[in-house]
Amino acid sequence: QSVLTQPPSVSAAPGQKVTISCSGSSSNIGNNYVSWYQQLPGTAPKLLIYDNNKRPSGIPDRISGSKSGTSATLGITGLQTGDEADYYCGIWDSSLSAWVFGGGTKLTVL
Amino acid sequence: QLQLQESGPGLVKPSETLSLTCTVSGGSISSNSYYWGWIRQPPGKGLEWIGNIYYSGGTYYNPSVKSRVTISVDTSKNQFSLKLTSVTAADTAVYYCARTLLWFGEFNWFDPWGQGTLVTVSS
């Protein structure tokens, strides 16, 4: 069981908006930077968001990240079928002295 | 652009040692502030961090596998490697290598990632 809690699945219609939550504690989200990863079927994870809310070059602005207290949220607007993937949050946990990932959330675009 | 590529045996027998190498191209493994990491993903499951290494040899390991893991670096070949001893079926996974950044005592992200290599532990 991960120290970061994500919903197992979320779904929304094409063109709609979806949010994915990542809940942690003061030893991780409360004091360190969150990153988010997209894993399309059969491929390696790809960095979507770093430092809580920054997008790497090439990531569209319909992808966003935010953090409040010990929770973080990934938002995707204008959903496309190509967004169907597993999404993971990740962070350094200062108490464990270890990098941890959330359990992952499967996004279905209906 | 920076690319990482994992290589190594796809099948390892139980109780033996899993050995993988990650080759970095398009950039130097000796870049300041960047570490190089291993992450694995059992079939149908989530991601698990294994450990990170700096070009000078400094390492961080996941406490859950620390007793069985060694990560090393060869700057002359722009490669870093993973050794995992006494493997069992539970170590069957896709193993990824990736670059990470250490900033003010915490690792911040992993990017880019290699394509991954499946290692199966079976007799």
Q: What is the DSSP string of chain B?
A: --EEEEES-SEE-TTS-EEEEEEEESS-TT-TTEEEEEEEE-TTS--EEEEEE-TTS-EEE-TTTGGGEEEEEETTTTEEEEEE-S--GGG-EEEEEEEEEEETTEEEEEEEE---EEEEE--
A3-17, A81-95, B100-114: least confident range: B100-114
Nearest-5° Cα angle at B108, B45 to A10:
40
Three-state SS for A54?
A: strand
Instruction: Select the residue of A43, A88, A94 nearest B47 (Cβ to Cβ).
Output: A88
Across residues A30-55, what is the average pLDDT? 97
Q: In the structure, what pLDDT confidence band is assigned to residue A2 with cuts at 50, 70 and 90?
A: confident
Structure confidence at residue B105 (pLDDT): 85
Q: If you compute the radius of gyration of chain B from its CA atoms, what whole number of angstroms results? A: 14
pLDDT of A45 above 90: yes
pLDDT of A47 above 90: yes
Which chain A positions have a beta carbon within 8 Å of B110's beta carbon? 35, 37, 45, 47, 90
Structure confidence at residue B83 (pLDDT): 98
A47-56, A65-74, B27-36: least confident range: B27-36
Structure confidence at residue B48 (pLDDT): 98
**How many CB pairs below 8 Å do chains A and B form together?**
66
Do A35 and B109 count as a contact with CB atoms less than 8 A apart?
A: yes
pLDDT of A1 above 80: no
A26-35, A66-75, B61-70, B102-111: least confident range: B102-111
Do B46 and A101 count as a contact with CB atoms less than 8 A apart?
A: yes
To test the contact with chain B by mutation, choose from A92, A93, A95 the residue with the greatest count of B C-beta atoms within 10 A, namely A92
Across residues A67-80, what is the average pLDDT? 97
Structure confidence at residue B38 (pLDDT): 98
Which chain A positions have a beta carbon within 8 Å of B63's beta carbon? 96-98
Q: In the structure, what pLDDT confidence band is assigned to residue A100 with cuts at 50, 70 and 90?
A: very high
Structure confidence at residue A68 (pLDDT): 97
The nearest CA of chain B is from the CA of A98 a distance in Å of 6
The nearest CA of chain A is from the CA of B107 a distance in Å of 6
Across residues A92-108, what is the average pLDDT? 97
| pLDDT tens for each residue of chain B, 123 residues long | 999 999 999 999 999 999 999 999 999 999 888 999 999 999 999 999 999 999 999 999 999 999 999 999 999 999 999 999 999 999 999 999 999 999 888 899 999 999 999 999 999
The nearest CA of chain B is from the CA of A50 a distance in Å of 6
Q: Tokens at residue B116, please?
A: 């991954």
Do B96 and A51 count as a contact with CB atoms less than 8 A apart?
A: no
